[in-house]
A = this chain, B = another copy of it.
Amino acid sequence: MHPVIWMRPEHGTRGPKPTHSRRDVAVAGIRIADQAGIDAVSMRRIAAELGTGTTSLYRYVSKKDDVLELMGDEVMGELRGTVLTGEWRADLSTIARLLRETALRHPWLPSLASGRANLGPNSLWWSELSLSVFDGLDLSTDEMLANLDTLSAFVLGHVQAELGDRAAELRSGLTHEQWMERQGEYGPTIVNSGRYPRLTRVIVEAESPHRADRQDRRFAVGLDRVLDGLAVHL
C-alpha cells in the first residue's frame, strides 16, 4: 500500500460500491474544522457527520493524516477560477492576498502545513498558476522557486501570527482589546522596572496595535516590503 494517498486508487473494482467518497470525508472534516476548530476533527465526529461507523472511514483513508491532506487539497479548490493579469507584481500580490484570505476563512489550514507539498490535484493546479506569474521574465526555475518561497514564507508566517491571535481569543474568551486592558495591569510592572525603555516607549506611543484593521494594514505593509525586496532582483 503506497504511503501517499494520491497514488492509491480511490476504491477497487470488485465488492460493493462505497457509500461515500474521499471528497465526502474531506468536506465533512472541513465543516467540523471551520465550526469547532481543528482539534474537534476526530474520526468519530466525521463518521457521525456522515452517518456512518467510525472505523468505516478507514476504507477511504489509511490514517487520520490522510484526512488532513484531503482537507487541505479540497480547500485549495476554492481558488480555482483565479485569473491573473500578466504583470508580476500585481499577480504576486493577488496570490498572497488570496492565500491569506483562504487561510482566514479556514483558520486550521496553516496548522497542517506539512512542509512537504500537498500533491492533490487542486494544490498542483495552484502551484502551476503561481509559476505562471514568471512567464515572460526569463528566470531560471531556481529563481522562480526562490521568489515563491520567500513570498509564501511571509504569508504563512503572517497568517500564523494573525490566527494565533484569534485562537487565543477563542480559548481565553478575551478579545484583543480586552487582552490589551488586562495587559495594562501588567504594563506598569514592565514600565516601572526600568529595564525595558524601548518597549516602554512602544507601549506608550504605538498606535498600530490598537487599530481595528491592524492585521489588514500589517499584512499590506509587510507584503509591499517583501515585493520591494523581490523587485530589486527582477
Taking a contact as CB atoms under 8 Å apart, the answer to whether B158 and A153 are in contact is yes
Given A153-B157, A167-B115, A201-B141, answer yes or no on A124-B196 (Cβ-Cβ < 8 Å): yes
**What's the Cα separation between A209 and B165 when bound, in Å?**
33
**What's the Cα separation between A197 and B197 when bound, in Å?**
55
Instruction: Answer whether residue A230 sits at the interface, using C-beta atoms and an 8 A cutoff.
Output: yes
Give per-residue flags for A45-87: 1 if the beta carbon is below 8 A from chain B beta carbons, else 0. Answer: 0000000000000000000010000000000000000000000
Closest chain B residue to A3, Cβ basis? B172
Given A4-B186, A156-B161, A228-B228, answer yes or no on A199-B124 (Cβ-Cβ < 8 Å): yes
Given A131-B199, A202-B141, answer yes or no on A124-B229 (Cβ-Cβ < 8 Å): no
Binding stretch for chain B, among A25-33, A36-44, A177-185: A177-185
Instruction: Answer whether residue A162 sits at the interface, using C-beta atoms and an 8 A cutoff.
Output: yes
Given A185-B7, A222-B153, A233-B225, answer yes or no on A195-B163 (Cβ-Cβ < 8 Å): no
Given A226-B154, A228-B228, answer yes or no on A218-B146 (Cβ-Cβ < 8 Å): yes
* Listed residue (A186, A201, A221) with the most chain B CB atoms within 10 angstroms of its CB: A221
Taking a contact as CB atoms under 8 Å apart, the answer to whether B115 and A150 are in contact is no
Closest chain B residue to A110, Cβ basis? B160
Q: Which residues of the partner chain B approach A104 to less than 8 Å between Cβ atoms?
A: none
**Interface residues in A193-234 (C-beta closer than 8 Å to B):** 195-199, 201-202, 205-209, 218, 221-222, 224-230, 232-233
